[in-house]
């Protein structure tokens, strides 16, 4: 075959790459079709069903009314929306406050243990999220290890942890802090350390150097971390279920209730759309912020 | 995303500025080091407690009495839990194979095909990574019930594959980006057919990424609760779903034994996915692949 083509050496590469591309195009088809059928179209169904209603015999029926969204516009649901936002933002703040120092310490002072430390950091996050939340719920329960310890230390009644907002936010922070640490760590690793030296010469004092050199240099990492923590935190329901109670329920708990207890799928779909809309708004702000950060650096 | 380059940067810094580095260690970090240690302590505390109390001879979750295998015996004699364990292993294996095949196809195609449709597919394939699982779960549930498909382990597998394709695609694309396509071109110039070039050049180059992402997907699917919770049938349920309903009823130390076994499985898999790429003589390990995703 190669011999036959020898006469037209100039056209050979283009011809080959044309069939080549067609071949690769066929390879793209199955995964693309799969994603379209199972992901894209199922999201479309959620949106469509949110305009539907529960028909005879409890079956969900498509429709075109805003009834479900109107039903969400009352104080019970609005309280939960606001609470979810507050918890998610608080989780992001906690993850930044905890994750930044850890990433900083490992990246700049980890020395030859750096890779081992990152591995030690990553591995627990692959232990089931459910099991880890369950572990905290047993640890923090009224008869749990922490309260037993507090009682032997002389605190007679112990402290009530479970069913408090603090416990839910702490659970979310514990669950997602890795998504903050890894991007910040990566951006600290990319950073030119001589900048810090220069900063020390220029500004004197580690604090001013940190604020005016290190912090801006790791902005992309922080923004990435904020996104990766905020998205799952806003949609979580396991932490509020196991560490909280009805008083700390988030939007995820409401969604779960509509599908498993309330059996009102259209209302549950509307709740899911509200969640997706909130995340989409957040994404827009995020993309703007990263673009600005890129322009400035 | 650009994590694979990180390792190279580090070595450069290590070589170039050892002295400066040491000085910065002496600078101020005592409090930062203490904070990091405390962080690691809290990170492992719940895990250690689960493992420890899985060996407790008493039912208590706050006082350790003495060592016993009691809860493990209870776990392995519980038919429902065992059938759930088998179901989870089955789901993870099938989903791993499915996601590997489709994800690799996607990564290879996106590397070669230019143009708007391909770019659109590439973007859509990233969306599951940033979609909260509850949204994916609700969508999958409505999709299956809407089509009148009976919820079972099959629906769980289909949903898990959808969710895992992106991980494989991202990791394999990262590897493909790190090696140039020139070797493959050279193979073609030397007379290989497209299929031979793929089999002899491309697949061996991405093999470490395939192994790492396969192990990762297995671990993620094995541990996944939210998605499975939404699309599973009644019997048998995947292990995490089974555990969830048990936790809601009572607190039993048998759950600690199940949890310990589950964590053992995922830790071994993740450990392997970190180590295996190294066996292929690559300087960057699976960690870069993972943190790149």
ipTM: 0.86
Residues of chain B found within 8 Å of residue A25, distances taken between Cβ atoms: 109, 113, 118
Say which of A111, A123, A144 has its CB closest to residue B270. Answer: A123
Q: Which of A17-26, B62-71, B123-132, B223-232 has the highest mean pLDDT?
A: B223-232
User: Does A203 fall in a domain?
Assistant: yes
Question: Residue A16: which pLDDT band, with cuts at 50, 70 and 90?
Answer: low
Q: Are A183 and A246 part of one and the same domain?
A: yes
| φ, ψ at A206 (rounded to 5°) | -65, -30
Query: Both A237 and A288 in a single domain?
Result: yes
Residue B55 CA to residue B265 CA, distance in Å, equals: 18
Q: Do B49 and A106 touch (CB under 8 A)?
A: no
Contact B9 A189 (CB under 8 A): yes
Q: Which of A17-26, B34-43, B50-59 has the lowest mean pLDDT?
A: A17-26
Instruction: Please indicate, yes or no, if residue B58 is contained in any of the structural domains.
Output: no
Round to whole Å and give the CA distance between B45 and A217. Answer: 33
Residue A187 and residue A221 in contact, taking contact as beta carbons nearer than 8 Å: yes
Please indicate whether residue A199 or residue B210 has the higher confidence score (pLDDT): B210
Whether A250 is in a domain gets the answer yes
Q: How many CB atoms lie within 10 A of CB B81?
A: 22
Asked if residues B280 and B207 have their Cβ atoms less than 8 Å apart, the reply is yes
A92 vs A216, more confident: A92
Give the range with max mean pLDDT: A15-19, A194-198, A226-230.
A226-230
| B243/A139 Cβ within 8 A | no
Is position A117 within any domain?
yes
- Please tell me the distance from the alpha carbon of residue A175 to that of residue A136, in angstroms, as a whole number: 11
Whose structure tokens read 């990435």?
A224
Confidence band (pLDDT; 50, 70, 90) for A205? Answer: confident
pLDDT at A21: 67
Residues A73, B46: Cα–Cα separation, whole Å: 39
Question: In CATH, what number is assigned to the domain containing residue B252?
Answer: 1.10.3720.10
Helix A265-296, helix A219-235: angle, nearest 10: 180
Verify that A8 and A153 share a domain, yes or no.
Answer: no
Q: Is residue B10 a part of any domain in this protein?
A: yes
Same domain, A173 and A241: yes
A285 falls within a domain: yes
- Given CB atoms, is B291 within the 8 Å cutoff of chain A? yes
Decide: pTM greater than 0.90.
Answer: no
The residue-averaged pLDDT of A246-275 equals 92
pLDDT interval class at B19 (50, 70, 90): very low
Domain span at residue B249 reads 4-17+71-292
Question: Which range of residues forms the domain containing residue A43?
Answer: 2-49
Say whether residue A166 is in contact with chain B using an 8 A CB cutoff: no
Check pLDDT > 70 for residue B15: no
**Would you place residue A10 in the very low, low, confident or very high pLDDT band (cuts 50, 70, 90)?**
very low
Task: Say yes or no: B50 contacts chain A, CB-CB below 8 A.
Answer: yes
What pLDDT score was predicted for residue A279?
93
For residue A162, tell me if it sits in a domain. yes
A221: nearest Cα among A64, A53, A102:
A102
Mean pLDDT of chain A, nearest integer: 87
pLDDT (0 to 100) of residue B224: 93
| Residue A53: its H or E element | strand A53-54
Rounded distance between C-alpha atoms, residue B89 and residue B240, angstroms: 12
So what's the pLDDT on residue B180?
Answer: 65
Q: Which residue has the higher pLDDT, A130 or B253?
A: A130
CA A36 to chain centre: 23
Q: Could you tell me what percent of chain A has a pLDDT over 90?
A: 52
Question: Are A169 and A24 part of one and the same domain?
Answer: no
DSSP state of A37: I
pLDDT of residue B27: 54
Residue A46: closest CA among chain B residues belongs to which residue? B139
Above 70 in pLDDT, residue A15? no
Model confidence at B24, in pLDDT bands (50, 70, 90)? very low
Note whether residue B60 is domain-resident: no
Is the backbone peptide bond immediately before A265 cis, with ω within 30 degrees of 0?
A: no
Pair A241, A112 in one domain: yes
Predicted confidence band of residue B291 (pLDDT cuts 50, 70, 90): very low
Output the pLDDT for position A7.
43
* H or E stretch at B248: helix B239-249
| Residue-level pLDDT at A238 | 93
pLDDT(A3) > 80: no
A123·B240 Cβ contact <8 A = no
Phi, psi of A63 (to 5 degrees): -165, -165
In-domain check, residue B28: no
B1 three-class SS = coil
Measure Cα distances from B9 to B173, B275, B286 in Å.
Answer: 21, 21, 17
pLDDT at position A178 is 95
Q: How many domains does chain B have?
A: 1
How far A95 CA lies from chain B's nearest CA (Å)?
12
User: Is residue B22 situated within a structural domain?
Assistant: no
Residue B27 lies in a domain: no
| Model confidence at A13: pLDDT above 70 | no
Mean pLDDT confidence for A242-269: 91
How many CA atoms within 13 Å lie on the side-chain side of A164?
10
In a domain, residue B147? The reply is yes
Residue of A45, A127, A238 with shortest CB distance to B266: A127
Same domain? For A136 and A280 the reply is yes
How many Cβ pairs within 8 Å bridge chains A and B?
257
Our CA-based measurement puts residue A289 at a distance from the nearest CA of chain B, in whole angstroms, of 17
Contacts of A194 in chain B (CB under 8 A): 17, 20
Is the model's pLDDT at B173 over the cut of 50? yes
Rounded-to-integer distance, Cα B200 and Cα B192, Å: 9
User: A182 in a domain, yes or no?
Assistant: yes
Q: Does A175 touch chain B (CB under 8 A)?
A: no
Answer whether A3 touches B (CB < 8 Å).
no
Check whether residue A6 and residue A110 sit in a common domain: no
Residue B124 inside a domain? The answer is yes
Q: Are A127 and B223 in contact (CB under 8 A)?
A: yes
Same domain, A12 and A116: no
Which residue, B126, B156, B141, B128, is CA-closest to B241? B156
Domain CATH for A95: 1.10.3720.10
Q: Per-residue confidence at A294, pLDDT binned at 50, 70, 90? A: confident
State mean pLDDT over A164-185.
Answer: 95
Q: Do A37 and A82 fall within a single domain?
A: no
The count of structural domains within chain A is 2
Q: Do residue A271 and residue A223 come from a single domain?
A: yes
Average pLDDT, integer, range B36-46: 94
**Given B118, B125, B146, which is nearest A35 (Cβ)?**
B125
Residue B172 near residue B206, CB atoms below 8 Å:
yes
Last residue of a domain, one of A15, A31, A49: A49
Contact B244, B197 (CB under 8 A): no
């Amino acid at each position: 075959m190669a011999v036959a083509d020898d006469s037209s050496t100039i056209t050979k590469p283009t011809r080959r790459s044309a069939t080549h591309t067609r071949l690769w195009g066929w390879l793209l088809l199955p995964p693309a079709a799969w994603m379209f059928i199972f992901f894209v179209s199922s999201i479309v169904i959620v949106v469509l069903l949110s305009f539907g209603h529960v028909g005879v015999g409890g079956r969900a029926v498509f429709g075109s009314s805003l009834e479900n969204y109107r039903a969400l516009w009352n104080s019970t649901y609005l309280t939960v929306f606001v609470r979810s936002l507050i918890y998610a933002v608080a989780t992001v703040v906690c993850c930044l406050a905890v994750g930044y120092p850890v990433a900083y310490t490992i990246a700049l002072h980890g020395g030859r243990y750096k890779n081992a430390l990152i591995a030690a950091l990553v591995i627990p996050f692959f232990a089931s999220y459910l099991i880890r939340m369950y572990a905290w719920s047993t640890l923090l329960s009224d008869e749990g290890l922490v309260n037993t310890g507090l009682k032997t230390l002389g605190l007679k009644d112990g402290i009530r942890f479970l069913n408090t907002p603090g416990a839910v936010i702490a659970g979310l922070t514990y669950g997602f802090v890795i998504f903050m640490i890894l991007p910040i760590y990566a951006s600290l690793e990319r950073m030119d350390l001589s900048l810090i030296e220069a900063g020390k010469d220029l500004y004197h004092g580690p604090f001013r150097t940190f604020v005016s050199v290190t912090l801006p240099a790791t902005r992309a990492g922080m923004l990435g971390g904020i996104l990766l923590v905020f998205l799952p935190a806003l949609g979580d329901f396991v932490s509020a279920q196991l560490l909280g109670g009805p008083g700390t329920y988030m939007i995820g708990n409401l969604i779960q209730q509509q599908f498993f207890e309330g059996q009102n799928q259209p209302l549950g779909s509307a709740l899911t759309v509200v969640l997706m809309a909130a995340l989409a708004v957040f994404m827009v702000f995020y993309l703007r912020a990263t673009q600005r950060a890129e322009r400035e650096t | 995303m650009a994590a694979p380059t990180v390792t190279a940067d580090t070595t450069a810094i290590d070589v170039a500025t050892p002295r400066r580095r040491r000085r910065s260690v002496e600078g101020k970090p005592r409090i930062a080091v203490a904070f990091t240690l405390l962080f690691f302590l809290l990170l492992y505390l719940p895990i250690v407690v689960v493992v420890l109390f899985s060996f407790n001879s008493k039912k208590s979750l706050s006082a350790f009495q003495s060592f016993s295998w009691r809860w493990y015996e209870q776990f392995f004699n519980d038919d429902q839990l065992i059938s759930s364990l088998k179901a989870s292993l089955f789901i993870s294996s099938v989903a791993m194979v499915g996601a590997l095949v489709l994800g690799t196809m996607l990564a290879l195609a996106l590397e070669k095909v230019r143009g708007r449709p391909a770019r659109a597919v590439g973007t859509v394939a990233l969306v599951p990574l940033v979609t909260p699982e509850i949204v994916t779960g609700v969508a999958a549930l409505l999709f299956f019930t809407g089509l009148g498909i009976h919820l079972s382990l099959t629906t769980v597998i289909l949903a898990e594959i959808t969710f895992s394709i992106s991980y494989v695609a991202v990791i394999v694309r990262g590897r493909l980006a790190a090696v140039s396509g020139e070797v493959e071109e050279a193979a073609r110039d030397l007379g290989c057919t497209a299929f031979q070039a793929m089999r002899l050049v491309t697949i061996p180059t991405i093999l470490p990424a395939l192994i790492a992402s396969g192990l990762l997907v297995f671990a993620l699917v094995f541990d996944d609760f939210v998605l499975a919770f939404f699309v599973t049938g009644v019997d048998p349920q995947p292990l995490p779903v089974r555990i969830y309903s048990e936790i809601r009823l009572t607190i039993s130390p048998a759950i600690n034994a199940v949890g310990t076994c589950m964590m053992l499985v995922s830790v071994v898999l993740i450990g392997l996915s970190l180590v295996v790429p190294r066996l292929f003589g690559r300087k960057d390990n699976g960690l870069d692949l993972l943190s790149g995703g």
